[in-house]
Every structure is written in C-alpha cells, then in structure tokens.
Chain A
Amino acid sequence: MPKRKFPKLNPELCCYCGACVSVCPSLALELNETKIFLNKNKCIKCHSCIKVCPVGALK
C-alpha cells in the first residue's frame, strides 16, 4: 500500500465552508474566515476531508 500523505489545500479553490472540519475524526482541522489550519500532529491521514470537500480543494 502506498504511503498516505497529509491532505493538501488549494486555498484558491477553497470556499472555507467547514465540510472538512465537520468530518475530521481527530480535530486536526481548524477554520476561520480565510484560512484552514491542519495540525499535522493530530491528522491521521484518513482523507475523509478530501472525500467530502464539495469543490475538490483538498488533495
């Protein structure tokens, strides 16, 4: 199995809607008006955020 990567955000596509935050099981994502923060110590690389993103801003 290939090694899983941390999700990467394309800030120009992101609508800051919080969908990724709502499905993150490890509270690794935090959102404000214009930024999403990923806490790499908490992220378990499950990629739920990538799947739920309505615009494909997370890869």
Chain B
Amino acid sequence: MKGEMELNEFDVIVVGAGPAGISAAEKCAEKKLRVLLLEKDQEIGVPKRCAEGLGLAWFKRLKLKPDKQWAIQPIRGATLYSPSGKKLKIKFSKIAGYVLERKMFEKFLAKRAARKGVKILAKATVKDVIKENGFVKGVKATVMGEKKTYYCKIVIAADGIESRIARLSGLNTTNTLFNVDSGFQYEMAGIDFGEEDLIHLYFGAKVAKRGYVWIFPKGKDCANVGVGILGSDTKTAKEYLDNFIEATPGLRKGSIIEVNAGCIPLGGFLEKHTMNGLIVVGDAAHHVNPIHGGGIGIAMESGALAAEICKKAFNKKDFSDETLGEFNSLWYEKRGNQLKNILKRRKMLEALSDKDFETLVSSLTGDEILKVAEGNLLQSAKIISTKLIKNPGLMKLLLKLLR
C-alpha cells in the first residue's frame, strides 16, 4: 500500500509532450521542480503535424547539436517557384538548417527530460482542469483507460492547436478562421524534386491560396510534400495538394508513406498567456512564425521561458496571475514582438498578386535577393536601381510593398 504517499502531487504539470511541453518540463526539472508530463497519444513524436524543418539559428539558441539520428537532411537554401514555373534559387555556402525526423527528435528530447527527473506518461488524456478559488490546481486525466486526478501548483498548457486546457480553464485561445492555415501533407518516397539540400516552395493562388506548397527533402527521393492554405478557403488543403501532385510528374509517380493533417496558427499571438496557476505555451498560444508557419524552435523557447517563470513563482511561493503574468512581457520581449513584425510583413506579402510575384522572380536573382535580405544598403540600392531601369513593373511592386 502506498498510503498517503500516493504520487499524485507535483509542483508542475505539463500537458502535451511536443517540443514546447517537453522543453518546459525538462527546464522545470533542471530547476529542481517535481514535474509530471502528460501526453494524450500513445507515442511521443507521433503523429507529426509538421514539415519538420528547423533553422540553424535555433540549434544555436537551443544548444542542440544536430545528430544524424534525428537531424536527417542538411539544408543549404531554398528554391522558390513562381506561378508560371520560373525558379529562383537561394543557396548558402553553409548549412542553413535541417529537416528533422520528428519521431526520433521528440523521443530524444523526452528521454533527455526523463533522465533529468521528469515523470512522463503517454496515452494520458486530460479531460478537465481542477479549479479551486479561481486557481488552476490540477487536472483530471484518463491514463490507459484509468481515471486519475493529479494536483499541482502550476499547469503548463502545451497541448497544441486544440488548446483545450487553456480554454477549459477559462482563457480564450480559440483560433479564428482567418488566423489559421489549413495544412495537409504526405510523406512521399520514390519521387524526383531536384536538389535534396534545398527546400522547394511553390507559390500562386492556384497552387495554394494565401500559402504555398512545400517540399522538404528527407534524402534524395523522399520528402514531406505539403500545403498550407487560408483556413476559410472553400477548397480543402487535400484538394490543393492532390491537384499539385497530379500536375507534377516527379511527384505523381511516387508513393505516399505517411499522411499528416493539421492547422497552423499564423497570427494572433495570445496577449495574455496566463491565469492563476496556468501558463500557455507553443502552438496552444499560437507561437508560430507567421510567414513560414514554422514553430518547433519558437515552441521550445517558450517552454523554457515558462519554466523560468515557474521557478520564480516557487521562490516567491506565489502562483497568481500577477506573478505568472510576467511570462507575457518576457515572451514578447524575447520573441513575440519580433513575430508581430513578421506578421506585418506577411500582410504586405499577401497584397502581392500572382503577377507581382512573376515580376519579382523574373527581375531578381537568388543572390541579389540574399544581398538585399542581408541588409547591405549600398549593394541593395545598386541592385534595385539597375533592375528598376530594366523592369518598370518592379517599381510598382516596390511601391505596393512599401504602402
């Protein structure tokens, strides 16, 4: 008999073992907090709802060393395809990021967290949150069919786009149809798509309304082939992707080895991430880059920041919204304000028509775009001014972008 020492009390309970949740749990354990991490699915890392790209800057920020087990494809740049099929290649001399094998990556993260003392349970679905006197105090869960109640001082909600934990607690994290992209992806094998150390992105209203089709290589003839489109579009993401594959011989001949669906929160970051006893992180808090929809790094960072706030709260023995609310300013300072600016840039890009995109791709080369993006003003001005003389359409386009 375990008696009164029943292990149902923790300092922190993290709901959702994706990148945000595992990172939050691991960092809490490093700070000597007792942590329970609950995952609703049977297996950590599966199913993925992700194209699996992670930029090199994130490896540095998160102190991750790429390991062949899970960082399976080095990426050196991208090829952009205009609606008419014109190519714009941007290639760096050095590795710019990796395509991951999320299944392996998240297992690696989870094992590392477990070694640091995090208690992890898979197939543990949280059904409800326990609230007492306006404070979140724990969760009710079903673990392998058995009903369990766990108590804690702080719940970290890292439960993905569904974001039910926050909403059950009383924080509105519902996504609007305009703020999400509907996403669909096949992992394919036996396909031809060009260089495997580049990601391939296809644009145009026909290919993907408001979004793009991506090919993220995993070896020479395998890749994640997916699409993201405006959430409220009447055609489904699957229809867009199937049409694209049908029209692309290199893909049409291939096989589908995995099907992934999901939606991507592309804006509307939470203003308020906290309540008494609750912090929301990752996709659940819409922590995603609003231009390309990537969120692994951002999620892991927000998890780590939440752990810092937890430690502070335990030092003060105060788990109120006032103390936890420091997360809001911390996150915006570290990442949110930057993402808000990126959101503004996306809105400018959204104003571009297919014709504008053609103008851009046919007037500038990849190297030139890189130089402009690197921000060398003198060089940028030189490039743009010579191009403007040759292509008056570009001027109109720039004016549109700057408007």
**B261 and A23 contacting across the interface, CB-CB below 8 Å:** no
**A52 and B182 contacting across the interface, CB-CB below 8 Å:** yes
- Of B231, B236, B262, which is within 8 A of A18 by CB? B262
Is B102 close to A, CB under 8 A?
Answer: no
**A27 and B164 contacting across the interface, CB-CB below 8 Å:** yes
**B182 and A19 contacting across the interface, CB-CB below 8 Å:** yes
Stretch from B89-97, B169-177, B300-308 at the A interface: B169-177
Enumerate chain B residues within 8 angstroms of A56, measured Cβ to Cβ.
Answer: 236, 238-239
**B161 and A18 contacting across the interface, CB-CB below 8 Å:** yes
**A55 and B184 contacting across the interface, CB-CB below 8 Å:** yes
Enumerate chain A residues within 8 angstroms of B232, measured Cβ to Cβ.
Answer: 51-52
Is B260 close to A, CB under 8 A?
Answer: yes
**B41 and A19 contacting across the interface, CB-CB below 8 Å:** no
**A22 and B184 contacting across the interface, CB-CB below 8 Å:** no
The verdict on A33 contacting B184 (CB below 8 Å), with A19-B161, A22-B263 known, is: no
Complex-state Cα separation, A18 to B304, whole angstroms: 25
**B236 and A21 contacting across the interface, CB-CB below 8 Å:** no
**A54 and B262 contacting across the interface, CB-CB below 8 Å:** yes
Q: What 0/1 readout, one digit per residue, does chain B (257-283) give for beta carbons within 8 Å of chain A?
A: 001111101000000000000000000
Complex-state Cα separation, A27 to B183, whole angstroms: 21
How distant is B2 from chain A, measured CB to nearest CB, in Å?
28
Complex-state Cα separation, A16 to B164, whole angstroms: 15
Is A44 close to B, CB under 8 A?
Answer: no
Complex-state Cα separation, A27 to B169, whole angstroms: 12
Q: Please report which residues of chain A, range 19-59, place their CB below 8 angstroms from some CB of chain B when the two chains form the complex.
A: 19, 21-25, 27, 30-33, 48, 51-56
**A52 and B263 contacting across the interface, CB-CB below 8 Å:** yes
**B162 and A21 contacting across the interface, CB-CB below 8 Å:** yes
Enumerate chain B residues within 8 angstroms of A54, measured Cβ to Cβ.
Answer: 182-184, 236-238, 261-263
How distant is B162 from chain A, measured CB to nearest CB, in Å?
4
Enumerate chain B residues within 8 angstroms of A25, measured Cβ to Cβ.
Answer: 174
CB-nearest residue of chain B to A25: B174
How distant is A17 from chain B, measured CB to nearest CB, in Å?
4
Q: How many A-B residue pairs have CB under 8 A?
A: 86
CB-nearest residue of chain B to A19: B263
- Of A16, A23, A33, which is within 8 A of B175 by CB? A23
**B42 and A33 contacting across the interface, CB-CB below 8 Å:** yes
Enumerate chain B residues within 8 angstroms of A15, measured Cβ to Cβ.
Answer: 47, 259-261
**B49 and A17 contacting across the interface, CB-CB below 8 Å:** yes
Number of chain A interface residues as a range = 20 to 34
Is B381 close to A, CB under 8 A?
Answer: no
**B239 and A23 contacting across the interface, CB-CB below 8 Å:** no
The verdict on A53 contacting B182 (CB below 8 Å), with A30-B164, A33-B42 known, is: yes
**B180 and A22 contacting across the interface, CB-CB below 8 Å:** yes
Complex-state Cα separation, A42 to B234, whole angstroms: 25
Enumerate chain B residues within 8 angstroms of A48, measured Cβ to Cβ.
Answer: 177
Complex-state Cα separation, A18 to B233, whole angstroms: 17
Enumerate chain B residues within 8 angstroms of A23, measured Cβ to Cβ.
Answer: 174-177, 180, 231, 263
Enumerate chain A residues within 8 angstroms of B233, measured Cβ to Cβ.
Answer: 51
- Of A19, A30, A33, which is within 8 A of B180 by CB? A19
Is B138 close to A, CB under 8 A?
Answer: no
Most chain B C-beta atoms within 10 Å of own C-beta, residue among A22, A32, A48, A52: A22
The verdict on A19 contacting B262 (CB below 8 Å), with A51-B232, A52-B182 known, is: yes
Enumerate chain A residues within 8 angstroms of B263, measured Cβ to Cβ.
Answer: 17-19, 22-23, 52, 54
**A33 and B261 contacting across the interface, CB-CB below 8 Å:** no
Is B160 close to A, CB under 8 A?
Answer: yes
Enumerate chain A residues within 8 angstroms of B265, measured Cβ to Cβ.
Answer: 22
The verdict on A32 contacting B125 (CB below 8 Å), with A19-B262, A52-B177 known, is: yes
How distant is B173 from chain A, measured CB to nearest CB, in Å?
8
Enumerate chain B residues within 8 angstroms of A32, measured Cβ to Cβ.
Answer: 40, 125
Is B163 close to A, CB under 8 A?
Answer: yes
Enumerate chain B residues within 8 angstroms of A17, measured Cβ to Cβ.
Answer: 47, 49, 260-263
8 of the cross-chain contacts (CB-CB < 8 Å) are A16-B47, A17-B261, A18-B162, A18-B262, A22-B175, A23-B180, A32-B125, A33-B40
Task: Give 7 new A-B contacts, CB below 8 A, not counting A19-B180, A52-B180.
Answer: A16-B47, A19-B262, A22-B180, A23-B174, A53-B236, A54-B183, A54-B263
